[in-house]
Chains A and B, each alone.
Chain A
Amino acid sequence: MTFAGRAALAGVDLEIRPGESLALVGPSGSGKTTLLRLLNAAVLPSAGTVEIDGRSLAGIAPDALRALRSRIGFVHQDLCLVPNVRVLSNVLSGKLGQQGLFASLRTQLLPPRPEVEKVAAILERVGIGEKLYQRTDSLSGGQRQRVALARALFQEPRALLADEPVSAVDPARARSMVELLAGISRERGLTLVVSLHDIALAREFFPRLVGLREGRVVFDRPTREVRAAELERLYALAGLELGDDGRERAN
């Protein structure tokens, strides 16, 4: 995967099994977001292959791509909600990939009762049940994040991806958000891939860690086998290498 001539990701070889949950860790610019966007079929690799459900994305037909995307929920770092409509509308739009134009117009303009009930139940689960009819921009950052999660869940996805779900909220809320993601994925048997730069949270909630640095996978193994020194080295500033004693050394 290259952007403007520089490889955003190179030599990444990753296999994620259905129902698995893992965290991508690494400093800013290490390629976490690009990797998530590849997994979401939002971008296609400039070299190499991405397979989802055993199906290669290379040369995929537009309709098949839509169908594939509609079953992957993505919680963007900047949420990407429509601020000036009700929470209900934002969550309902999660189904757009599975609806024709007229069905979606009907659902958005005059939502059928069962759909509204489904949305209400999801909002209840993510902890903002009472916000159903509120305007999205009247909500706090943490609540909006839950709207974005609710939209992804309304897709009835098979996999849930989240890009830095804790960057916009304070530490206490960050923890509850990650807890929510992990809990819901377990309940529903969803594959969960989350990028996090908070190592403590990644360690607490994810059985598998993938460390990325400068577009390369540095480690990929069960969380309990990831050593503290490896993590420190992952986040060391470029040009500085941590010695075995943990002190910075000029490179």
Chain B
Amino acid sequence: MTAASARIEPRRISGRGLVLAGIALAALCAWLTLDAPLTGLVPREGGWHVVRGFFGKALAPAFSYQTEVPEGTTPLLLAGLAAARRTLIFAVAGMSLALVLGCVLGFFASSSWWAEDRRGRGLRPLVWGSARVLIVGMRSVHELLWAVLFLAAFGLNTFGAVVAISIPYAGTLAKIFSEMLEEAPRDSARALRELGAGPLQVFLFGQLPRALPDMAAYTFYRFECAVRSSAVLGFFGFPTLGYSIAQAFENLHYAEVWTYLYMLMALVVGIELWSGALRRRFVA
């Protein structure tokens, strides 16, 4: 008996190496064609003044308005808290709508609903493909663009702002959810199918639990993003923290800007701590 020996291939660059080199080259080309001289980083005449004025107040946020305000105006901190509360409400509302849509679309964009036999096989490409196309459409337009669109169509409508957040977020959640469902181990699902469970039962009790910790962690991360998006919507006039920030900035009240920024940071950090605590309790 003669043992077959492994044939050693000649040395050459692997396909993976070529792709990596190509990506690096593309990045280099982007910077070279950008035509961005480093002198662009030096503030313009008068720009220094703004920069110094702004960062100079970083450690001295305002606790009351920097100028005289009419009698009966809500105090700065209370107004900021109210804006922060609205920011959170917009984010929660947008995110909850996005979560429902994202779960449904993510389910149909994965292979989880495919029966094991040939039933409904003709329907698969249609449903799966429609879900995918819908997801791409929702994701490819940024929430700020949706907001501009709704602003033009419906005016300064709270519902418009919430829907503007939820459309692209639903698309992103659906895409990531479907991938997580697809990549989760399938052994438990197979076992349930083999003991007679129906397709939806297999999904709910065999497949979904395997992906759920990752899906939950990702949802929390997106919730954090939603709070930032909700704040930025204020720049278009919606009454969130962004509105307060834009107003204060226009009036050159940098100390007030910092007050609002710290409130936004507190929101984001708060969510981070809360989600971390939940994850430690339920996932780890």
Contact = CB atoms under 8 A, between A and B. Distances in A.
B196 A93 contact: no
B283 A84 contact: yes
B39 to A, nearest CB: 55
B195 A101 contact: no
Interface size class of A (residues with CB under 8 A): 35 or more
Interface in B167-195: 187-188, 190-195
A41 B209 CA distance: 25
A66 interface: yes
Given A73-B195, A82-B188, A94-B195, A62 B213 contact: no
B196 to A, nearest CB: 2
A70 B194 CA distance: 8
Contacts of A250: 1
A80 interface: yes
A172 B95 CA distance: 53
B192 A93 contact: yes
A155 B195 contact: yes
A57 interface: no
B274 to A, nearest CB: 21
Interface size class of B (residues with CB under 8 A): 20 to 34
Contact of A96 (B117, B119, B205): B205
Contacts of B253: none
B93 interface: no
Contacts of A76: 187, 191
A147 B206 CA distance: 15
A22 to B, nearest CB: 20
A250 B1 CA distance: 9
Contact of B197 (A68, A83, A97): A97
Contact of B201 (A79, A80, A81, A104): A104
Contacts of B201: 96, 99, 101, 104
| Secondary structure class of chain B's binding surface, majority of residues | helix
B187 to A, nearest CB: 4
A63 to B, nearest CB: 9
B196 A97 contact: yes
Contacts of A108: 204-205
Nearest to B186: A80
Nearest to A66: B196
Contact of B195 (A82, A85, A89, A96): A96
Interface string B93-122: 000000000000000000000000101000
Nearest to A74: B194
B195 A62 contact: no
Given A82-B205, A84-B209, A62 B117 contact: yes
A8 to B, nearest CB: 17
Given A84-B283, A104-B201, A105-B204, A74 B210 contact: no
B276 interface: no
7 contacts: A62-B117, A66-B198, A68-B196, A76-B191, A80-B191, A101-B201, A155-B195
Given A93-B206, A96-B197, 7 more contacts: A74-B191, A80-B190, A93-B192, A96-B195, A104-B205, A105-B204, A151-B195
What 4 A-B pairs are tightest by C-beta distance, nearest first? Answer: A97-B196, A70-B196, A80-B191, A96-B197
